[in-house]
Structure 1
Amino acid sequence: MGYFASQFFDGYRLQSNVVFTVEDGCIASVTPDAEPGQHDVLDGLIMPAMVDVQVNGGGGVQFNEAPVADSLLQMSRAYLTTGTGSIMPTLITDDIAVMSAGADAIAEAHKADPAAIPGVHFEGPHLSAAKKGMHSAAHIRPLSDDEFALFTRKDLGRVLLTVAPETVSPEDITRLVEAGVIVSAGHTNADADTCFKAFDAGATGATHLYNAMSALTSREPGVVGSALYRDDVYCGLIVDHQHVHPVSATLAIRLKGDDKLMLVTDAMAPAASDADHFIYQGIKVLRQGPTLKLADGTLAGSVLTMEEAIQHTRFDLNIALESTLKMATSTPANFLGLSSSIGTLQTGSQANWIAVNDALQVQRVWRNGVCMS
């Protein structure tokens, strides 16, 4: 099957008049500066389906509260309508039974469609109580053999683990990385020296930059300064104008560049749905306009979608279109080590793409080469 797109973004570059073909659910060829010929002409800007490495829930379901494969199917379907083709379902701090059940669900969903569910993000439980945010203090705990065995399962696809570097030693970070786990610093009050030791030990990410981490100050760079300083560290950024001030977001993008700054949602159950609340470990979290908050006013994730994230980044922050799209596609895919299959439209990539209009609103979506809308 062949297609023609007058506007085409391959995950890295904007191209014009591209013919691309699909075979067996994958991109078979990409030819720029071509003529439409007999190919199916697609309207709008064609780009890879987006990649979100931090999705706690969506479509009305919260993964921790329903850690089963049907939840992942519901989340995946909901986010596909807003242009996200690959999600890393995120289990926030909980007991080992919930984490294990969630891992079983991930293994099932990953086997069925590894592009849609490329892996799992364990956000906790090895965090700092001082920067726990909405995470349950009762379940924050040191790394044990049980968790290590869970994080290093071989049937989960990519495993991303957010830890507070002051609670997990550099030696344990190295042990996790050597076992294939991607380690990110988050929900942490660590100083710069502790962060640098974690990065030297193999940690390669900073989870939702600025939020739930020690700030950059004149005499202590904290986690924010450390992550921005290191060229080898990827930073996730929630561009909903609630978690991060637009000036701070813009500065981070300028410093990290579009190859190390990735857009994330940190979305909860109400995202991509009409739900007005969700429950986490018996606590009701309310949707208040564009935010989710606990009763004490603590931000509790977001209702952001990646469609909204690229709109905010492009039009509110005035970031170049190519950079904006890259931060939502190939950059998170590269962070996961999966850019040959997701987040790009190149020969061999999974045929997951979307069409957006000039306002970056999703018009149509394709999964495995099949139009879904």
Structure 2
Amino acid sequence: MKQALTGARIFTGDQFLDNKALIIGGSAIIAVSENDNVVRDFPDAQLVELDGGILAPGFIDLQVNGGGGAFFTNDTSVSALQTMLDGHRPTGTTGMLPTLISDTRQTHQAGVKAVADAVAQGMSGVLGIHIEGPFFDMEKRGAHNAKYIRDIEGDDLDWLTHLDATRVMLTLAPEHTQPGQVRQLVEAGIIVCGGHTNAHYEQVMAAIDEGLSGFTHLYNAMRPQTGREPGVVGAALDSADTWCGIICDNHHVHPASVRVAISAKPRGKVYLVTDAMSTVGSEQKSFTIYGEEIFEKDGALVNAEGRLAGSAIGMIDAVRIAHRDVGLALDECLRMASLYPAEYLGLADTLGRIDEQCRADLVHFTEDFAVTATWVAGDFKQHR
């Protein structure tokens, strides 16, 4: 069954189009058509009238700890992954990397298996897995439990480099690796990012030479930049070929710091993430990790020590804040939420754009950034 989506302004990932209709069939985008030609050119298509607003590529979130009441590290099951997808879909997220925080190797292995099983079962919204830790610097661990923080070991390298899973992103502190270990991980197909790190500039650049390609929640839990010591932040902003995820929730990063990152990096190298916890898409305002209660306070999630412990936003919130508070153009905010993460994952041939033969992952939202509908591989869901 073909559908002709009309009535909305279309953002293709490159430009806005007016007076156009988007034709989808099955799981794929078929064409962008002139509104006046839809009935003639696609007589078998069901007309779906969207009441204004914007139709854009579905959002891709590369750092999602939980959602819908499920927290992945606590529940490494396929059903928890579905709950997370269901929780984030009303915020426009159509693809994600479920994220494991620092824990035991057994927990991480169980999470990898759950993701592999979900992908094998056709759970289209699961694009891979993000393993965040436990190979961190103790001083920069943030809300990660100290008892799990350690250097990477031979057994870790062995299982990580022999994963029979889909895309894997691994966040680590490069100063706690031995020479050649980052290269070994990258050669095994893992996307290696720096995060929760107190490394000096030279240590980060050495890891980049070995293939480290990104930075997790830029500015947070990493050595800051100063005039004499560029630190991790300076290395991230100075390296043209690396990618930076950034949390636009007005708690983790000041809008001015977001603008600095956008100015410093080449276009397309900064993408939005939520770092969301289980409260997103759920009525709950607190949850437990490591036996400790994490609760929402003034729109942020904090632990008993007052440390930030993930965010309470969805991707549509990140887009709205990046546009209204940071002051970025809406088209760039949408690319930061869809095209750029797709490019980082190597999926921009099928995701992050509205083009023929791309997967029909779409979000429709109003001028006030309220998500009304999403499509995941052509599967339609109305949200309001």
* Shorter-chain TM band: over 0.9
2:364 to 347, 352, 355: 355
Change (3 A) 1:21 1:170: farther
What does residue range 10-21 of structure 1 map to in structure 2 within 5 Å?
A: 10-21=12-23
Equivalent position SS for 2:304: coil
Equivalent position SS for 2:136: coil
Distance 1:351 1:111 in 2: 19
Do 2:276 and 2:312's aligned partners in 1 also have CA atoms closer than 8 Å?
Answer: yes
1:9 to 8, 11, 33: 11
Q: CA deviation at 1:147?
A: 2.2
Equivalent position SS for 1:37: helix
Residue aligning to 1:370: 379
Greater CA deviation, 34-43 or 56-65? 34-43
Do 2:192 and 2:212's aligned partners in 1 also have CA atoms closer than 8 Å?
Answer: yes
Distance 2:378 2:69 in 1: 27
Change (3 A) 1:102 1:213: same
Equivalent position SS for 1:354: strand
Distance 2:267 2:9 in 1: 20
Do 2:65 and 2:275's aligned partners in 1 also have CA atoms closer than 8 Å?
Answer: yes
Equivalent position SS for 1:81: helix
Residue aligning to 1:24: 26
2:172 to 145, 163, 187: 163
Do 1:163 and 1:185's aligned partners in 2 also have CA atoms closer than 8 Å?
Answer: yes
Q: CA deviation at 1:258?
A: 4.3
Does residue 1:216 correspond to 2:217, yes or no? no
Change (3 A) 1:16 1:214: same
Give the number of equivalent residue pairs.
372
Do 2:195 and 2:221's aligned partners in 1 also have CA atoms closer than 8 Å?
Answer: yes
Residue aligning to 1:137: 146
For residue 365 of structure 1, what is the amino acid of its counterpart? T
Q: CA deviation at 1:355?
A: 0.8
1:248 to 236, 250, 257: 257
2:76 to 67, 75, 85: 67
Do 1:292 and 1:299's aligned partners in 2 also have CA atoms closer than 8 Å?
Answer: yes
For residue 90 of structure 2, what is the amino acid of its counterpart? T
Q: CA deviation at 1:360?
A: 2.1
Greater CA deviation, 103-112 or 10-19? 10-19
Greater CA deviation, 362-371 or 224-233? 362-371
For residue 80 of structure 1, what is the amino acid of its counterpart? R
Distance 1:291 1:323 in 2: 25
Does residue 1:93 correspond to 2:102, yes or no? yes
Do 1:86 and 1:342's aligned partners in 2 also have CA atoms closer than 8 Å?
Answer: no
Distance 1:361 1:254 in 2: 28
Distance 1:116 1:298 in 2: 30
Equivalent position SS for 1:166: helix
Greater CA deviation, 344-353 or 157-166? 344-353
Greater CA deviation, 305-314 or 17-26? 17-26
Do 2:237 and 2:261's aligned partners in 1 also have CA atoms closer than 8 Å?
Answer: yes
Distance 2:162 2:26 in 1: 29
Distance 1:57 1:36 in 2: 43
For residue 317 of structure 2, what is the amino acid of its counterpart? E
Does residue 1:331 correspond to 2:336, yes or no? no
TM-score normalized with structure 2 length: 0.93
Does residue 1:279 correspond to 2:281, yes or no? no
For residue 30 of structure 1, what is the amino acid of its counterpart? V
Distance 1:286 1:162 in 2: 24
Equivalent position SS for 1:35: helix
Residue aligning to 1:180: 189
CA deviations on 1:126-169 (whole Å, 9 max, x unpaired) are 11111000111111122224322433354421100001010123
Does residue 1:305 correspond to 2:306, yes or no? no
For residue 319 of structure 2, what is the amino acid of its counterpart? I
What does residue range 96-107 of structure 1 map to in structure 2 within 5 Å?
A: 96-107=105-116
Do 1:258 and 1:323's aligned partners in 2 also have CA atoms closer than 8 Å?
Answer: no
Greater CA deviation, 223-232 or 281-290? 281-290
Distance 1:26 1:76 in 2: 20
Q: CA deviation at 1:100?
A: 1.1
List gaps (5 residues or longer) in structure 2: 40-44
Residue aligning to 1:314: 323
Equivalent position SS for 1:195: helix
Distance 2:79 2:130 in 1: 18
Change (3 A) 1:195 1:241: same
Q: CA deviation at 1:35?
A: 3.0
Greater CA deviation, 338-347 or 128-137? 338-347
Greater CA deviation, 100-109 or 336-345? 336-345
For residue 157 of structure 2, what is the amino acid of its counterpart? F
Do 1:4 and 1:36's aligned partners in 2 also have CA atoms closer than 8 Å?
Answer: no
